[in-house]
Structure 1
Amino acid sequence: MTSSLLWLVILSTLIILAQAVKFDLPATVADNVEQSQRCLSQFVAKDTQVYITVKVGEGYNQRIDLTVSQDGDVPSVYTRKRDIQQSFANVFNTISDGQVTACFTNSLDKGFVENSQYNRWVELDMNIGAEAMDYNALAKSEQLGPLELELRKLEKVVQEIVDEMSYLKQREALMRNTNESTNERVKWFSLLSLFTLVSLGLWQILYLQRFFRRKHLID
């Protein structure tokens, strides 16, 4: 029992572990900033907590802006942050299923010309669901021990897996219904096409027979 619990805790830790993305963002003039923006996205289900942290390096006369949005049935913009200095963090809950996209732009101040020396590094850490919870605050508020806290993390991760499986099951049922409906339509369309071709063939034969008899070419 203890061994199984230990493996579950290790598995939950590996699942919860988040990997930050770090990259260099070249600076451009204001007219070209939209074309040079860098975007990172990840699918997030509805009613899911997302915690985004951003760190940026130093850059002379450069301004990094961030926009976090989501497509889907209800397109939404969750964050607009201009001129990020050193770090920035934001927490929000999604209102629909879709891709959550974080787009960065790095614009030069007026009077500066684009050059390879103008760039700043950006580090993005997007924590979703169980990853986004503040477990330290939870442990303090509910006075949880280390093992209890790990079990609470595991409970949250398992719940997310169950929700994800339920979502995939619903998607599978929707796709199956769509395929069955499409197959039914194709079947009736094929039968209609066959009936039309047979009818045209019979009509053509009868028409040619009458035509040749009028011309006395056949008896």
Structure 2
Amino acid sequence: MLPSASSLLAIVSTLMVLTQAVKFDLPAALSDRTDTTQRCLSQFVAKDTQVLITVNTGEGYNQRIDLEVSQDGPVPNVYTRKRDLQHSFANAFDTISEGLVTMCFTNTLDEGFVESSLYSRWVEVDMNIGAEAMDYKLLAKSEKLDPLELELRKLEKVVQEIVEEMNYLKTREALMRDTNESTNERVKWFSIGSILTLVCLGFWQIAYLRHYFRRKRLID
């Protein structure tokens, strides 16, 4: 059952409020120890969805920040590899499959320097997915939309994505229900088979013991 228009607007408003960048300090390490200080952020993204990643970095003497954006799945995909991020970087791509899109940052300290807590750079990451990743300025310019029409187009796109997500969840729920019903059916027949096997084994034991005792003349 689809929600009402007021419910959809409430969800849209909540999503727009919760959308914000993530900022953190990334300590520097020598090249042979960068894996120990690697910082990764992940977000589940559906297939054929536009993603826009914007990264801002602070100043850092003798430090190099590298970025890799990948997605897990049957065949892992690497969308971006950026070496030595400077100040700001933006990258947009469309996902090839569904799964976790992971952004991993490493801060490498130049050779000849000693690791210290003083060596770190701040990183600010903003990940926009679907409707949030669209270039609405370009859309407004190309279609000559006024501000109100542009806001309505934004809401239309977000509501459309919410409905698609609900349909996707409905499909997953149906698949899960079918899997549960199939599993229950298999467990039922396995239980029946186990009971019949135990009953047959019990009758065979009784018949064997009766034959054994008669042979030993313990019973008539």
TM-score (norm 1): 0.93
Shift of 1:20: 0.1
Shift of 1:13: 5.3
Q: Cα–Cα, structure 1 residues 6 and 139, in superposed 2: closer, same or farther, change >3 Å?
A: farther
Corresponding residue number in structure 2 for 1:34:
35
Q: Which amino acid aligns with 2:196?
A: F
Shift of 1:16: 3.6
Shift of 1:38: 0.3
Shift of 1:171: 0.6
User: What are structure 2's unaligned runs of at least 5 residues?
Assistant: none
Q: What CA deviation, in whole Å up to 9, does each residue of 1:23-45 have, x standing for no partner?
A: 00000111110122000001000
Cα separation, 2, equivalents of 1:63 and 1:73: 32
Two-structure CA RMSD over aligned residues (Å): 1.8
**SS in structure 1 opposite 2:125?**
strand
State yes or no: 1:49 paired with 2:50: yes
Cα separation, 2, equivalents of 1:155 and 1:39: 32
**Residue pair 1:12, 1:153 contacting (<8 A) in 2 also:** no
Shift of 1:111: 1.1
Shift of 1:136: 1.0
My pick for the range that moved more, 112-121 or 14-23, is: 14-23
Q: Which amino acid aligns with 2:24?
A: F
Cα separation, 2, equivalents of 1:56 and 1:126: 15
State yes or no: 1:152 paired with 2:167: no
**Residue pair 1:53, 1:89 contacting (<8 A) in 2 also:** yes
Cα separation, 2, equivalents of 1:185 and 1:96: 32
Shift of 1:10: 8.0
**Residue pair 2:60, 2:119 contacting (<8 A) in 1 also:** yes
Q: Which runs of 4+ in 1 moved over 2 A?
A: 5-18
Q: Which amino acid aligns with 1:34?
A: D
Q: What CA deviation, in whole Å up to 9, does each residue of 1:68-94 have, x standing for no partner?
A: 001123321000000001111000000
Corresponding residue number in structure 2 for 1:177:
178
Corresponding residue number in structure 2 for 1:15:
15
Q: Which amino acid aligns with 2:147?
A: P
**SS in structure 1 opposite 2:37?**
coil
**Residue pair 2:50, 2:129 contacting (<8 A) in 1 also:** yes
Cα separation, 2, equivalents of 1:146 and 1:206: 90
**Residue pair 2:67, 2:82 contacting (<8 A) in 1 also:** yes
Corresponding residue number in structure 2 for 1:212:
213
Q: Cα–Cα, structure 1 residues 208 and 38, in superposed 2: closer, same or farther, change >3 Å?
A: same
**What percent identity do the matched residue pairs reach?**
73
Cα separation, 2, equivalents of 1:15 and 1:137: 23
Cα separation, 1, equivalents of 2:191 and 2:30: 58
